[in-house]
Amino acid sequence: HTDATSTNAILRAACTWGNTPDGGMNRLTCNDDDKSVRDWFISETKKYGCFHKIDEMGNIFAIRPGQNNNLPPIAIGSHLDTQPTGGRYDGILGVVCGMELLRVLHTNNITTYAPVAVVDWTNEEGARFPPAMLCSGVYAGEFSTKYAQGRQDADGITLGAELQRIGYMGPTPCSFSENPILAHFEVHIEQGPILDFAEKAVGIVSGVQSIRWSNIEIQGREAHTGSTPMDRRNDALLGAAKMIVETNRIVTETKVGPRGGRATIAVINSSPQSINTISGKVSLGLDIRAPADSDSELIELQCKKSFEKICEEHGLTMSFDNFWVSPAVVFDQIMVECVRRSAAELACDMEIVSGAGHDSVYTSRKVPTAMIFVRCRDGVSHHPSEFSREEDCAAGAEALLGAYLRYDDY
């Protein structure tokens, strides 16, 4: 069995770096705090008998040998990076549960059939270097290493340069075929309200909904705010504002939305940012989700159409770059069954489709994959107030151990 006190102590330790005054975390990929927590992760997992592989994307594999070391390891992965206004659980809890599992194996002198790997996947959030799940994506062959290393943050700094700066661009190829695993488990906070509402500590994740991310560039024309008549303007920010309102309307009021679609614009840059010069250029970041691929496609299509109409009305031009699609995923039936049986021992049986993306989305393309959700208060995440009770975090670790040993046996 796992130990509640130990699990929560590891979790607290994992939150040492990147605290914000409001009780949250800001551990954007490859900032100095991300380096510190990586160093800690390596030194802690060494204590549980692990050796380490660091790949070209900075993914860290802490590997504990098994009885059959010519088998690839069964992996437990998640991420230690956070949003700029992130919490202390999203991603972190998943790595921590893997570490608690290593501790239990080590303390009890258990040697698993296959080796165990606990993985810290780089840049899962995608907050600093979009898209999300970037480095599990490279591992699974969705993106090339070159593409991913070249991704830029808002200041134009590349992920590759930052990995090098913090000393985490490793020698291992970032590739499933050259550094394989047998299967992938992930514990994660739910980030939704279902378990909290049902009063269940953990849940069985049956799959993940589809995601589409796009960049929109709107070109208008700068002009004087005081002397330019209202009907002679090409106001890029007014056009952008109408797009934001329309995006919301499409998923809340039309036939697409009620089927469960979500669409959000949360990144905006306007220029020249002068109070008396009409905006000439705006860029937007659009995030669309839906359980069915066809619905997120349909929402995107409706947004695009309505954006084009807005451009026409205001004499603007637009480019629409759908730079990332993560199709809906259904997890492996045997793995999910292992989770189901393990969760049942904790009197939990809810099955949930994840609203957020996870590294497990990409591992599932290559190996059997399943996830365990942990209840979080009000379903809030990506906010400093994100919170899961100690007993629920411990339940996550316990459900993981049960599922893991079942799969290892199998």
Ligand X SMILES: NC(=O)NCCC(=O)O
Instruction: Name which of residues 130 to 189 contact its own copies (CB under 8 A).
Output: 130, 132, 154
- State the residue for tokens 């208060």: 377
CB of 354 to its own copies, least distance (A): 7
Q: Is 244 in the site for its own copies (CB under 8 A)?
A: yes
- DSSP structural state of residue 73: P
| Closer residue to ligand X in complex, CB, 170/192 | 192
CB of 278 to its own copies, least distance (A): 6
> What is the amino acid identity at position 188?
H
**Nearest residue to 98 (alpha-carbon basis) of 393, 410, 379, 409:** 393
| Closer residue to its own copies in complex, CB, 137/402 | 137
Per CB under 6 A, the list member of 101, 132, 348, 405 interacting with ligand X is: 132
3-state secondary structure of 333: helix
Q: Using CB under 6 A as the criterion, what x/- string covers residues 168-207 for binding ligand X? A: -----------------------x----------------
Q: Using CB under 8 A as the criterion, what x/- string covers residues 59-78 for binding its own copies? A: --------------------
**d(C-alpha 218, C-alpha 283), whole Å:** 6
CB of 130 to its own copies, least distance (A): 6
**d(C-alpha 334, C-alpha 367), whole Å:** 12
Site for ligand X in 240-279 (CB under 6 A): 276
Number of residues that bind ligand X (CB under 6 A): 12
Q: Which two tokens stand for residue 128?
A: 């600093």
Per CB under 8 A, the list member of 365, 377, 383, 406 interacting with its own copies is: 383
Q: Is 295 in the site for ligand X (CB under 6 A)?
A: no
**Nearest residue to 393 (alpha-carbon basis) of 406, 377, 378, 407:** 377
Per CB under 8 A, the list member of 96, 127, 202, 256 interacting with its own copies is: 127
- State the residue for tokens 């994740």: 205
Q: Are 132 and 124 in contact (CB under 8 A)?
A: yes
- The interface region with ligand X, picked from 19-27, 310-318, 350-358, 402-410 by CB under 6 A, is 350-358
| Closer residue to its own copies in complex, CB, 190/295 | 190
Tell me which residues touch ligand X (CB under 6 A). Answer: 90, 124-126, 132, 191, 224, 226, 276, 356-358
